[in-house]
Amino acid sequence: MNSFIFSSMEQYDYENIVFCQEKTLGLKAIIVIHDTTLGPAAGGIRMWPYETEQEAINDALRLARGMTYKNAAAGLACGGGKCVIIGDPKRDKNEALLRGLARFIQRLGGIFLTGVDVGTTLQDMEVMRQESPYIVTVPESWGGPGDSAGATAFGVFQGIRACLKERFGSPLPQGRAIAVQGVGAVGKELVRYLAETGAMVTIADIDQEKAQAVGAQYHVNVAAPEEIHRLDVDVYSPCAMGAVLNDRSLEELRCKIVCGSANNQLAEDRHGDMLYQKEILYAPDYIVSAGGVICGMDSMNPGGFNRQRAMEKVAQIYRTMGNVIAISQAQNIPTYRAADVLAEQRIASVRQAKSIAMGGA
């Protein structure tokens, strides 16, 4: 049998794909459950005008598997999943469509927990929450964590500290030169943490007005967007878009550490190998950008979201990044591979523990 769906599922051992369709609402969505060894699959809802169904399925598969690794490495009791809605968020999104999707998620009975991603907002989650408690990233007034950018920035800050400790023997950002690319929701908060701890920060954003405003607010330098990655700094922190670590940029990097929130920073895995060869310490993006998902999952605790407890867990990203570095050194592998090893080890050990509970070997 020649099936692209089953062969894709077999390749990385996906558990379920759920197709959700409602003609009158124009709803076409795909929920992928990758792995539930550690607990219910958690991952956001992306809305995107995919050109083909195959493109949408492939994106959902890739993103769901990424969430398995991110959640496992973050020490969360959840597996990985993702939902994609086929459509243009500006044109096709409305209350009925969102509530319709939420009812499908409710029907899954809690094996899929979800929240915001590209193309969806906290307000959308508020709408969906009316249909299902499995929509977990909701505003604080609903007992959820609210906007996740602050927690994400705090996690990246912890990742930077862990990398500084490795490279310079001290985690203190004071006096360290740090270049932040993109001062949107996450980048701006990160600049605040860095400026408060006495780092020498330079920022850039394609939105010049935003860059100037953040520069003035935190008294930090502003560089041109095309310059930021090639500054001679201790840390380059990509907090804008993906694939910034590519053949061209790697020729130009002069930093000692790369640590930022942007998703999928490595254009290809081989760029992670190249960073390793160049002795630039790379903090894998999914390790240091886990603050948001950590907060989302905290709201599943009895009693709801507790900011202090959640931020204590986000602070553990410092230790997690240290563990990634330790695996990288012990096994002589690049950090992006070491992060995968860390996640895979945790999943394997919990699977083993569960097999004992089930009476297995």
Helix (H) or strand (E) holding 254: none
CB nearer to ligand NAI: give 18 or 78: 78
List the beta bridge partners of residue 22: 27
Neighbours of 354 (CB within 10 A): 12
Question: Beta strands 27-35 and 16-22: pairing type?
Answer: antiparallel
Q: Considering the complex, what minimum distance in angstroms separates the CB of residue 146 from ligand NAI?
A: 11
Q: Considering the complex, what minimum distance in angstroms separates the CB of residue 11 from ligand NAI?
A: 25
CB nearer to ligand NAI: give 184 or 322: 184
Q: Considering the complex, what minimum distance in angstroms separates the CB of residue 231 from ligand NAI?
A: 13
Residues 6+ apart with CB under 8 A from 281: 163, 166, 167, 256, 257, 258, 259, 325, 335
Find the residue with minimal CB distance to ligand NAI: 184
CB nearer to ligand NAI: give 18 or 67: 67
CB nearer to ligand NAI: give 27 or 68: 68
Query: What does 15-31 look like in DSSP terms, one character per residue?
Result: -EEEEEEETTTTEEEEE
CB nearer to ligand NAI: give 120 or 132: 120
Q: Considering the complex, what minimum distance in angstroms separates the CB of residue 264 from ligand NAI?
A: 8
Q: Considering the complex, what minimum distance in angstroms separates the CB of residue 266 from ligand NAI?
A: 13
Give catalytic status of residue 82 as yes or no.
yes
Q: Which residues bind ligand NAI (CB under 6 A)?
A: 148-149, 152, 181-187, 204-207, 210, 225, 239-241, 261-263, 289, 292
Q: CA 306 to CA 310: how far, in whole Å?
A: 6
DSSP character at residue 12: T
Tokens of 206: 């394609």
Q: Which spans in the chain are helix H?
A: 4-11, 53-73, 89-92, 95-107, 122-129, 149-168, 185-196, 208-218, 247-252, 269-277, 285-288, 291-298, 307-315, 317-331, 335-357
Selected catalytic residue, list 70, 82, 188, 313 = 82
Active-site residues: which are they? 82
